[in-house]
Structure 1
Amino acid sequence: MDREVQFIGQSGAFLDAVERASRAAPMRRPVLVIGERGTGKELIAERLHRLSTRWQEPLVTMNCAALPETLIEAELFGHEAGAFTGATRARAGRFEEAHGGTLFLDELGTLSMGAQERLLRAVEYGEVARIGANKPIMVDVRIVAATNENLPRMAEEGRFRPDLLDRLSFEVITLPPLRVREGDIAVLADYYGRRMAAELGWASWPGFAGHVSQQMEDYAWPGNVRELRNVVERAVYRWDDPERAIGHVQFDPFESPWRPAALMATPAKAAGAGLAGERPAPAPTSSDLDGVSDLRGAVDAHERAILEHHLGRNRYNQRQTAKALGLTYDQLRHCLKKHGLMERGDNA
């Protein structure tokens, strides 16, 4: 996600989280950022740094899950030459690199208990000791940490130090998942769609067809904004007609009739990424059925949505669409006329 457009959205839950980050930024206290993957935890950390008095000093980022347990402490706190096998020369750790600035610790919940103990001392006393060193080094570092784990539960289970949790949780900013950010899916989809269209050299932005917009609203977005950007950009670049509203979107990039059986059960499919006609649709719930007061109208609306989806998926080729739906060419054209879709399906 580009830094000049860090925050896009209008929902109250999202704006509240951004405002809390802005209020906490001038403080020197630690901040915890909680959120699912793809919700923008790193961007909140950058906002906390850029709006603080430390903005001209380093913002050092470390993913605690990216290194094995045997190396995490050396990476955080540094080491002296000869401290362990392979340590041929002394090396400063991330705390020293971030002196005067901000240290962002992503995936905090993966830290070992040993690393947590050393981190606690750094937070409490502002000092770190390189591995193999006899004397500590004083550092001035503001810590921002992020995780998608339930740290209070981990503390209760003995997997995270309660005293460290207390020290790091001066302010806790919880980012809402995209699925509860009312109105933001359409805003984000339009933004990333326009950017991709410009990148492809399109003269104008045709937008998304109504049924595609509805599919995006109904999707759970387990990967949140990061996933939405990928889905939207993929849909735009695969679309062949810049003059026509984008009529097909694929949520699961691995979806293919030819993929190996071992890949059939993917996370996206498990999250409900299916579209009409690609697999059996789930039975309507009783609440869905209670809302139906016009049976014929409900059936017609469902039929139209299926036609729109498959027309888009087949690039508005009527013969391919008819084959995909198990209809004859004449049967499909009858359905298109019935729903006023002949202009959309004029590529026979």
Structure 2
Amino acid sequence: MKRDEQPIIGESPAFLSVLEEVSRAAALDRPVLIVGERGTGKELIAERLHFLSPRWDQALVKLNCAAISNALLESELFGHEAGAYTDASARRAGRFERADGGTLFLDELATTSMNVQEKILRVIEYGQFERLGGNRTLEVDVRVIGATNVDLPSLAERGEFRADLLDRLAFDVITLPPLRDRREDILPLAEHFAIRMTREMGRELFAGFSSASIERLLNFPWPGNVRQLKNVVERAVYRLDDAEEPVSRIQFDPFESPWRPVERSSENRVFEPASGSIPDDLRAHLDQIEKDCTLAALEANDARLKPTAKQLGLSYDQLRGILRKHGIKTR
């Protein structure tokens, strides 16, 4: 396992239910869509789907669609012929060709253009495509697994994502629970990351977490999910002065400092929306801002409600109402 990978560790009912869904979906040769917040382990679930499937001994090819500009994404997916564009000096196979017989995992699907979505749909429907600059139709046998951290049905309703592609991808949808809804999994994951960091530092013993640290880990809302937990735990182990002492210092925000640069006050800011930046649904947009600000304030205050309410300029009861409204759990 690579150092940056998340482990598939969990005993919570929500997580075990997901693993059952994965085992069931893996056997069928159909597209699958994985939905979840950032840091919930969508790529790990895609790997599990592949290696439990009849295609386990064939290629598993991955691509983060958000990491490549739309101008290059088409070439990356479908390949190109020599001379297809200025820098195309030789023929190049794309990800679909490389995944022939196996699985292609497409992360951050929502960032793709309508043109690319149409071509992906054609491959899923007919197993056919052409390289850029080519006129020969190629055929491949690829299982597509897509992933996103946004609400694709809402994008499709607004015409920002192809509804027909969504229909094909959504043969089965696996939605990953956030870590705040997997409270039973926090300590097993934290111990795994701590032991691995201990070994990486050449130490023989991990002395565990203090009771106060355990309480803080369990009560934090984890907006960054498992990825954030990993960083917090590894940082705590790395900063231990005495390896024989349990971890007693947990810092959720590595930027926390009395000398941290302060942003301009919101009163001094002037709202100047760029062209096309005004939201279609103002209420939904404001609700999302309210939720994001609340999660950020909770993280900055180690999930303590009274300091969080004070930072946001709210009463304790007003904050509790916002938490209930957005389903944010702090314990």
In the TM superposition, 1:185-196 aligns within 5 A as 185-196=186-197
| Deviations, residues 203-262 of structure 1 (Å, cap 9, x unaligned) | 432211111111111211111111101100100110112232211111111112223335
Distance in 1 separating the partners of 2:202 and 2:92:
47
Going from structure 1 to structure 2, the CA distance change for 1:85 and 1:270 (only over 3 Å counts) comes to farther
Change (3 A) 1:275 1:124: closer
Change (3 A) 1:171 1:254: same
Which stretches in structure 1 are left out of the alignment for 5+ residues?
290-348
Query: Could you report, residue by residue, the CA deviation over 1:74-114 in whole angstroms, capped at 9, with x for unpaired residues?
Result: 11111111112221211111100100110000001111000
Q: Work out the CA distance in 1 between the residues paired with 2:74 and 2:319.
A: 54
CA distance in 1, matches of 2:139, 2:69: 26
> Number of aligned pairs?
288
Q: 1:31, 1:280 → 2: CA distance? A: 42
Distance 2:164 2:134 in 1: 25
RMSD: 2.8
1:136-175 to structure 2, matched below 5 A, reads 136-175=137-176
Instruction: Please say if residues 252 and 269 of structure 1, whose CA atoms lie closer than 8 Å, have aligned partners that are also in contact.
Output: no
Ranked by relative contact order (alpha carbons within 8 Å, sequence separation 6 or more), the top structure is: 2
Give the unaligned 5+ runs of structure 2: 267-291, 321-331
Amino acid at match of 2:300: A
Q: 1:120 maps to what in 2? A: 121
Match of 1:183, SS? helix
Aligned twin of 1:68: 69
Matches of residues 251-330 of structure 1 in structure 2 within 5 Å?
251-262=252-263, 269-275=296-302, 280=307, 282=309, 285=316
CA distance in 2, matches of 1:239, 1:273: 22
Match of 2:32 in 1: 31
8 A Cα contact 2:222 2:299, kept in partner: no
Give how far 1:199 is off: 2.8
Deviation for aligned residue 1:118 = 0.7
Question: Secondary structure of the residue that 1:167 maps to in structure 2?
Answer: helix
CA contact (8 A) 2:252 2:299 kept: no
Write the distance in 1 (CA, Å) between the matches of 2:264 and 2:38: 22
Distance in 2 (CA, whole Å) between partners of 1:214 and 1:257 is: 25
Following the alignment from structure 2 to structure 1, what is the Cα–Cα distance between the partners of residues 111 and 6?
Answer: 30
Q: Which moved more, 1:240-249 or 1:133-142?
A: 240-249
TM-aligned CA deviation for residue 286 of structure 1: 5.3
1:104 lines up with 2:131 in the alignment: no
- Shift in CA distance, 276/221, structure 1 to aligned 2, threshold 3 Å: closer
Is residue 242 of structure 1 aligned with residue 243 of structure 2? yes
Of the two, which has the highest radius of gyration? 1
Q: Is the 8 A contact 1:208 1:246 kept in 2?
A: yes
**Letter paired with 1:229:** K
How far apart are the structure 1 equivalents of 2:308 and 2:149?
A: 31
TM-score (norm 1): 0.76
TM-superposed CA distance for 1:270, in Å, is 3.5
Query: Which residue of structure 1 aligns with residue 42 of structure 2?
Result: 41
Q: Would the aligned equivalents of 1:206 and 1:242 in 2 still touch at CA under 8 Å?
A: yes
